[in-house]
Structure 1
Amino acid sequence: MRTTPEPVTPAPALSVWTTAQTAPTTQRKGRYVPESTPHPAKMLPAVAAYAISHYTHPGELVLDPMCGIGTTLVEAVHLGRRAAGVEYEPHWADVSRANLQLAAEHGVKHNARVFRGDARQLTALLPPEYIGQAALVVTSPPYGPSTHGRVAVAPGEGIQKYYHLYGNTLDRGNLANIGHHRLLAGFMRVLTNATVFLRPGGHIVITIRPWREHAELIDLPAQILDCGRDAGLIPVERCVALLARAAEHDLVARGSFFQRDFVRKQRDAGLPLHLIAHEDVLVFRSPLQRPTGCREATADAPASWAA
């Protein structure tokens, strides 16, 4: 008997964001307070600005549940959007507020707030007036032990690494310190709670890259894609945000000391690695409507949305 084939779902569209035409320090100069520098994993301002420009309009609300130094919030207010962020570590929450204050001192009138707490408890941290209001969520999960940071050379001590860790490594409440699989479970909970604050048809933009553990590639973008689906979100695009400058005929890499050192050692050992030149950008959309008669979400039981 002849059967009708199952419909094929088209793959998400791909696009390239040229977000590193200027160096990271240039992008942040005069726009962020000096205390922002030590953060181990700052999002490129141009990445946040590109997402905000393309998925929102002036006056709309942008949310970052893991806001760090407030890059998403700062770029949002400079583009005339409202913004709200949550940050787990008290120090970075203060730095985020200082960066928003700097924007105000530069004449940017804004409606932006920073809340301190664990993003896995998002529905208990944000005020109820934000429920269903955000046009866009922009964020990035921590990668655990990071290859970010700075170096110093001391006589007789070799190369010393600093500004490369998230807070206290013994703090198990920090998603960066709980291991790969628990990180995925925690981030899925963050995404599930974030949908409560998205308006119908709103977008979530997540920047993420693969990393290597003992030279083994961990495909974190694919795993986060699964987390988004499991959180009830609809994948709509998979993009590339360049971390290298796009020159006329090639890419000019901006790899850190740690990346260059790691790649050199791996090549010497026979593994042909290359410098990281981009981040994956996963773009999800929330369903266009809630099921008829569904209750408002609570901290313990977020509402399930259906397309």
Structure 2
Amino acid sequence: MNHEPNAGAEALASVWATGQRPSRLQRQGRYLPESMRHPGKMLPAIAAQAISVCTRPGDLVVDPMCGIGTTLVEAVHLGCDAAGMEYEPDFAQMAAANVRHARSQGAAGTAQVVCGDAHTIGTTFAELRGRVALVLTSPPYGASTHGHVRTERDGADRLTKWNHRYSHDRGNLAHRNLDELLHGVGRILAASAGLLRPGGVVAVTVRPIRIKGELVDLPGRVIEVAEDNGLVLVERFAALLCGLRDGGLVTRASFFQNLETRRARERGVPACITAHEDLLIFQPVADSQGDGE
């Protein structure tokens, strides 16, 4: 790879201990409380590790699907500048508020947030072309996720869910079927890659998902669509969602992850709780071919 990580960053480690603290504690105080409304937040420790490995202070980081602004917040705390796009006006405002909160806590970097369709990122941020060191993002996992849940007992289990929908806007990419969603993600990654400086990289954090009980290799599908759009995979890391303690794993699984895993096993399916996300790092084909020169 052409990029040079920060001095001291664990660039050679293939497994990152990013789940040592639960996600809510990683965000506590660092993000505004209303940020918890987003159904598919990037884990702050994964964003911070990726930025530490792939950039230096003063570099520029972009997230084309920035949600509540996790990439932007972690970038400015690490002394980088950042720019993000978010389709949903509510989340775009939240991302901007989280950046302001980071700045109030002493973050040295600056960031801008634009509300818009990520497919247009190449033109919306045309002034950044050739300057971006890292594009860091995560795709939506469909129209809804597990969100938050409360259980009640009155003779039968009853569940109340909230904060589990990305959007009610049918124009949101999250509402497309999986093939269409991935096609859109591929186009967005390609447009974002057009902003990179020489040696810059595109990083995607993504985990396997279940659709109607069937396990889908979403990281593998993202690799396929990235390659179809002129990118090549150059590194792959396992970013832990679980904690490591006394030689064992500490699960951070949600209620629904535990429930679905138990139900699958009762049906004879050897299901396991997801313990990591893949952090996939791509370069444009031309840059990756230059590595061997």
TM surpasses 0.5: yes
Aligned Cα RMSD in Å? 1.9
Equivalent-residue separation in structure 1 for 2:252 and 2:262 (angstroms): 15
- 1:264 equivalent among 259, 262, 265: 262
In the TM superposition, what is the alpha-carbon distance from 1:23 to its structure 2 partner?
A: 1.0
1:130-141 to structure 2, matched below 5 A, reads 130-141=128-139
Equivalent-residue separation in structure 1 for 2:108 and 2:85 (angstroms): 20
Q: Which has the higher helix share?
A: 2
Contact 1:199/1:286 (<8 A) preserved: no
Q: Equivalent residue for 1:193?
A: 191
Determine if the alignment matches structure 1 residue 226 to structure 2 residue 228: no
Determine if the alignment matches structure 1 residue 162 to structure 2 residue 167: no
Q: Equivalent residue for 1:101?
A: 100
Q: Equivalent residue for 1:76?
A: 75
In the TM superposition, what is the alpha-carbon distance from 1:271 to its structure 2 partner?
A: 1.3
Equivalent-residue separation in structure 1 for 2:249 and 2:143 (angstroms): 27
Q: 1:57 to 1:14 in 2, by over 3 A?
A: closer
1:121-173 alpha-carbon deviations (Å, 9 max, x no partner): 112322x32011100010010010444311123565811111111110xx232
Paired residue type of 2:240: L
1:33-52 to structure 2, matched below 5 A, reads 33-52=32-51
In the TM superposition, what is the alpha-carbon distance from 1:244 to its structure 2 partner?
A: 0.2
1:25-67 alpha-carbon deviations (Å, 9 max, x no partner): 1111111001100110101100000000000000000000000
Equivalent-residue separation in structure 2 for 1:85 and 1:199 (angstroms): 17
In the TM superposition, what is the alpha-carbon distance from 1:279 to its structure 2 partner?
A: 0.7
Q: Equivalent residue for 1:209?
A: 207
Q: 1:103 to 1:259 in 2, by over 3 A?
A: same
Equivalent-residue separation in structure 1 for 2:284 and 2:151 (angstroms): 48
Q: Equivalent residue for 1:53?
A: 52
Equivalent-residue separation in structure 2 for 1:14 and 1:147 (angstroms): 30
Paired residue type of 1:244: C
Equivalent-residue separation in structure 1 for 2:141 and 2:245 (angstroms): 29
Equivalent-residue separation in structure 2 for 1:271 and 1:288 (angstroms): 43
Q: Equivalent residue for 1:25?
A: 24
Q: Equivalent residue for 1:179?
A: 177
Q: Equivalent residue for 2:151?
A: 153
Paired residue type of 2:211: E
Contact 1:14/1:240 (<8 A) preserved: no
Contact 1:235/1:282 (<8 A) preserved: yes
TM-score, normalised by the number of residues in structure 1: 0.86
User: What number of residue pairs does the alignment pair up?
Assistant: 276
Q: Equivalent residue for 1:298?
A: none
Contact 2:145/2:165 (<8 A) preserved: no
1:236-270 alpha-carbon deviations (Å, 9 max, x no partner): 11111100002232211110001001111111222
In the TM superposition, what is the alpha-carbon distance from 1:209 to its structure 2 partner?
A: 1.0
Q: Radius of gyration: which is bigger? A: 1
Paired residue type of 1:112: A
- The SS at the match of 2:127 is helix
- The SS at the match of 1:37 is helix
For structure 2, which runs of at least 5 residues remain unmatched after alignment? 1-11, 288-292
Contact 2:75/2:109 (<8 A) preserved: no
Q: Equivalent residue for 1:304?
A: none
Contact 2:80/2:108 (<8 A) preserved: no
Contact 1:122/1:193 (<8 A) preserved: yes
TM-score, normalised by the number of residues in structure 2: 0.89
- 1:241 equivalent among 236, 239, 242: 239
1:196-246 alpha-carbon deviations (Å, 9 max, x no partner): 111111011101111112221211111110111122122111111100002
Equivalent-residue separation in structure 2 for 1:271 and 1:147 (angstroms): 22
Q: 1:216 to 1:99 in 2, by over 3 A?
A: same
Contact 1:147/1:259 (<8 A) preserved: no
- The SS at the match of 1:217 is strand
